[in-house]
Amino acid sequence: MFIALSILAFTIAIGLLVAVHEYGHFWVARRSGIKVLRFAIGFGWPLWRWHGKDQVEYVIGSIPLGGYVKMLDEREGDVAKEDLARAFNRQSLKIRSTVAAAGPAANILFAIVAYWLVFVFGISGIKPIIGEIITNTPADKAGFRSGEEIIAVGEESTPTWASVGNAIFIASQRRSQVLVTASGVDGNRVLNLSLYQVDNDPEKAKDMLRQLGIQPKQPLLPAVIGKILPGEPASQAGFQPGDRILLAEGQPIHTWDEWVKFVRDHPNISFNVEVERGSERLILILQPAAVKGENGDSVGRIGAAPSSLGELPEELRATLRYSPLAAVPQAIKKVWEIGSLTVMMIGKMLLGETSTKSISGPITIAEYAGYSAQIGFTSFLNFLAVVSISLGVLNLLPVPVLDGGHLLYNFIELLRGKPLSERSQILGHQMGVVILIGLMCVAFYNDLARLFAQ
């Protein structure tokens, strides 16, 4: 079921974002007087094909992994005399550059609209109240206290733990320390948190709070199964959502934390579990899968989650939300943050300062698409915004074949006073194809490495 949802969400996401990108090219080209021959979303065998105004051919292909806008161009075939003025190659350098940049611009604009909707609808999360501070860590040295609430990182308001982690991660990419405002019984305190020893690689971002020595306050969740991943040990053993864990190999289980600890301590070991299901008590046989833990040791995993966020105590619930007017600058700011961070990470990868393991391919993207769609509409919108920004930024890279490559050629033409030779352009495109194939190979390798490491 989850695989089907991931494929569907991935198809919708890629199809929509490619359509947005190509429509940017299409819209600017048409309004610049250029004759568009074909607007295609997807490749392969056409599922639908029809003609619209000005005899533009619209095509939806069977493989939703790309798209293109084909414009009238003398370099690609004969052009009727009456249509010469509408050929792309006859346009000014300014118009050709605007058409090339319109696709990435459309993706950025889409991301702004998506984030605006996300902020208006609101993002549910957990209030950033500190549970414990690990001794001799950056948080301990900065003076954080258990029970305090982190209300701001720098000038960024942080109503949820997700916003805290995001703000600290962004800060860690730019500087070695950040001011954090914590609220407690003594009022608000501004603490100087050192980020010098924190590994800010994107692969380690999820461990940022642990590296800093901060453990979020967690409610004592009951040992009740909330969600089960298909194909995982919990599903294979016959567990169902709503099952309350009573005993594990005769040991009483009262909280979810106790259940997690027991499972993690028994990788590849079968044991009996007594559960309460409605008015019945059942005995199930469970064998957790063995996966690599944080310290490289083997730990158990069963593919089950506790009760949903909606069942959290009221004092731990929080929502990040803005009014429709206030959400506009917040959406623009968010897109700028992610876009600039993407550019920064690309630069660090080229310089060898950041691992290429953070490059994701279609398998990982589909997995994230499935998870975000499963959580809800705003989560999926957030996912679409992030991918749209990435698509826009990557297409602006000065690599021939991409939009940024066309802009590079146009810039060279501006400097030289004439375009590059056809031979040079063809050679550049061939190099661009090699670079893209190399990136795809890295992305697929990372996907498979993550998949088999689970």
- Give the three-class secondary structure for 48: strand
Copy the structure tokens of residue 228: 């089960």
Alpha helical stretches, state H, 290-402: 327-350, 362-375, 377-395
238, 241, 247, 251 alpha-carbon torsion, rounded to 10°: 100
Active-site annotation holder among 22, 148, 232, 367: 22
Of 12, 85, 25, the closest CA to residue 395 belongs to 25
The owner of tokens 């959580």 is 375
Side-chain half-sphere CA neighbours of 265 within 13 A = 9
Angle, helix 93-121 to helix 327-350, in steps of 10 degrees: 120
How much of the chain is helix, strand and coil, in % rounded to 5?
50, 25, 25
DSSP H or E stretch at residue 66: strand 57-71
- 22 an active-site residue? yes
Rounded to whole angstroms, how far apart are CA atoms 149 and 152?
9
Number of other CB atoms surrounding residue 106 within 10 Å: 24
Neighbours of 216 (CB within 10 A): 18
Q: Which of 364, 337, 340, 374 is nearest to 442 (CA)?
A: 364
User: Which of 17, 30, 15 shows the shortest CA–CA distance to 99?
Assistant: 30
Could you say which DSSP state residue 295 is in?
Answer: T
* Active-site residue set: 22
